[in-house]
């Protein structure tokens, strides 16, 4: 068994992201799969391009073609810089392909090695299988120890590789049955897109923490992390894969649905609504843009302030800022302009440039800001370092007052389900009250939307406790729907244990 087919694997390590990007919670991964379309890898590349916001460090595609078998390519950097070249795409023939974009959340965190780039591949007695995973396995370290003790040889530091090794150990006769066996051993969050020689497979964990949707295009089928990546190829959105569901898709039989896990109350990640998913995606039958707009409305109701201008911290604060302006009647304006072309390579070269920090990415629109009392709407406060710098830029531009309004509750707990979060003591809200944070950030006022307000915005009109609770909101509440067992073994204390 090997983690990838033996094609086209460049060596090396991707450097970590620049620190000014590190003050955000970082999603994680995007996954995509296509069956029944000629040159499926080209569609996968387009889909991954639309999912690039879910991971920019690296990407990979595996395809299958009856003549040449499984083929793969794994690359650092953006999809558009790699998977658009004819020379490379010609090495990925076939009507079946899956792909993955990555921001490392386990394994070599923030420091991707090419061996950690998915999809992973395994050769079994009944044929090969490739797998791409979005989420985090919270018992991966325990599983890894057990598998190594029993003779498995790991080739990457990724938690996702456990799934391939568990499949290899299964005694089931088919790959989908082996995958069911393997995933029953796995705890945590997983949305998976996988392929055999003849089938495209999609799976969501029983809690349904990470998204996965099904689309139809021509005679083919598509699986994607988000609906925005169906739109890019013109595919029709069919439905979400349900929590705990496995779909096996083949051109002959279409979509076959199974529920191999014990049923439980779903707990979809509420932060997907706040920040991770693209605003043009649909989650749970709801437009992400409309939800974010509604968060701004809730925020304006809960935390009004007298001011002259509502500005978003672009881009993720924009819909909530429009909602805040709509509800409060305070004019909306683009007081901060984002440079859309700031890439990783430009910011590498010198310490002096690195120290310019947030100014490289965001610039204040002085003409709009000067002399105004400004409401700044952002999606979250993590460490608070970027928020402080943005406040300074706004004051430097002549603002009279700065009022921060945050479109999520205080982030006080780390995520163990596929989102890169700092350790708990680095999260500002873990050790400061709202007022202490206001003083630390040096702003005139600071308010977060309440957890009930957030639930109302996502459509749960009765708030968080109506069905105790309907989403995963652990990074705000400390209420982890699956115990993070590897971390608890290392001494992490959940709120229940404190």
Binding site listing for Mg(2+): 316, 378-379
- Whole-angstrom distance, CA of residue 84 vs CA of residue 25: 29
Measured from the CB of residue 358, what is the shortest distance to ligand SF4 in angstroms? Answer: 23
- Whole-angstrom distance, CA of residue 313 vs CA of residue 214: 32
Q: Across-strand partners of 248?
A: 201, 256
Measured from the CB of residue 275, what is the shortest distance to ligand SF4 in angstroms? Answer: 9
Q: Using CB under 6 A as the criterion, which residues of the chain lie in contact with ligand SF4 when the complex forms?
A: 209, 269-271, 415, 417, 419, 472-475
- Whole-angstrom distance, CA of residue 176 vs CA of residue 497: 38
- Whole-angstrom distance, CA of residue 32 vs CA of residue 99: 5
Provide the pairing of β-strand 373-378 with 401-406. Answer: parallel
Query: Is residue 29 annotated as part of the catalytic site, yes or no?
Result: yes
- How many CA atoms lie within 13 Å of 140's alpha carbon, on the beta-carbon side? 23
Angle at 419 between CA 129 and CA 296, to 5 degrees: 130
Residue 240: closest CA among 259, 268, 212 = 212
Binding residues for [4Fe-4S] cluster: 269, 415, 472, 475
Q: Give just the sign of the alpha carbon dihedral 323, 326, 328, 331.
A: positive
3-state SS, residue 124: strand
Residue 388: closest CA among 425, 416, 428 = 428
Measured from the CB of residue 399, what is the shortest distance to ligand SF4 in angstroms? Answer: 31
Contact 202, 156 (CB under 8 A): no
What is the separation of C-alpha 417 from the centre of its chain, rounded to a whole number of angstroms? 10
Residues carrying an active site annotation: 29
């Amino acid at each position: 068994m090997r983690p990838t087919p033996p094609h086209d694997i460049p060596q090396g390590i991707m450097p970590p992201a620049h620190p000014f990007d590190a003050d955000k919670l970082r999603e994680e991964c995007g996954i995509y799969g296509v069956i029944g379309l000629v040159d499926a890898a080209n569609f996968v590349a387009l889909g991954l391009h639309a999912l690039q916001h879910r991971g920019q460090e690296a990407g990979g595609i595996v395809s299958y073609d009856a003549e040449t078998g499984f083929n793969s390519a794994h690359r650092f950097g953006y999809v558009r810089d790699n998977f658009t070249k004819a020379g490379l795409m010609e090495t990925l023939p076939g009507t079946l392909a899956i792909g993955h974009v990555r921001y490392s959340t386990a394994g070599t965190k923030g420091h991707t090695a090419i061996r950690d780039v998915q999809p992973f591949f395994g050769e079994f007695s009944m044929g090969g299988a490739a797998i791409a995973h979005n989420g985090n396995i919270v018992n991966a370290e325990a599983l890894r120890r057990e598998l190594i003790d029993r003779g498995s040889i790991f080739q990457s530091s990724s938690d996702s590789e456990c799934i391939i090794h568990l499949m290899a150990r299964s005694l089931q006769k088919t790959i989908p049955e082996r995958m069911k066996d393997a995933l029953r051993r796995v705890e945590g969050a997983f949305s998976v897109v996988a392929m055999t020689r003849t089938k495209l497979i999609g799976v969501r964990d029983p809690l349904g923490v990470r998204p996965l949707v099904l689309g139809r295009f021509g005679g083919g089928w598509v699986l994607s992390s988000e609906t925005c990546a169906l739109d890019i190829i013109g595919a029709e959105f069919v439905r979400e894969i349900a929590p705990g569901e496995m779909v096996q898709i083949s051109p002959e039989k279409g979509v076959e649905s199974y529920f191999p896990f014990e049923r439980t109350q779903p707990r979809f990640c509420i932060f997907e609504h706040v920040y991770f998913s693209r605003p043009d995606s649909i989650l749970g039958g709801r437009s992400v843009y409309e939800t974010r707009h509604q968060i701004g409305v809730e925020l304006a109701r809960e935390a009004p302030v007298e001011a002259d201008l509502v500005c978003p911290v672009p881009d993720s604060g924009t819909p909530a800022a429009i909602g805040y302006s709509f509800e409060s009647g305070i004019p909306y304006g683009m007081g901060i302009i984002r440079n859309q072309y700031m890439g990783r390579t430009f910011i590498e070269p010198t310490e002096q440039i690195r120290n310019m920090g947030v100014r490289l990415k965001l610039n204040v629109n002085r003409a709009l800001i000067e002399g105004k009392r400004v409401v700044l709407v952002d999606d979250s406060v993590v460490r608070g370092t970027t928020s402080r710098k943005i406040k300074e830029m706004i004051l430097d531009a002549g603002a009279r007052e700065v009022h921060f309004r945050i479109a999520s509750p205080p982030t006080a707990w780390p995520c163990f389900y596929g989102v890169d979060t700092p350790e708990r003591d680095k999260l500002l809200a873990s050790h400061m009250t709202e007022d202490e944070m206001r003083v630390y950030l040096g702003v005139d006022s600071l308010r977060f939307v309440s957890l009930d307000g957030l639930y109302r915005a996502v459509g749960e009109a009765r708030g968080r406790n109506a069905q105790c609770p309907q989403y995963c909101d652990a990074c705000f509440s400390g209420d982890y729907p699956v115990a993070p067992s590897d971390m608890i073994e290392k001494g992490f204390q959940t709120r229940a244990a404190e």
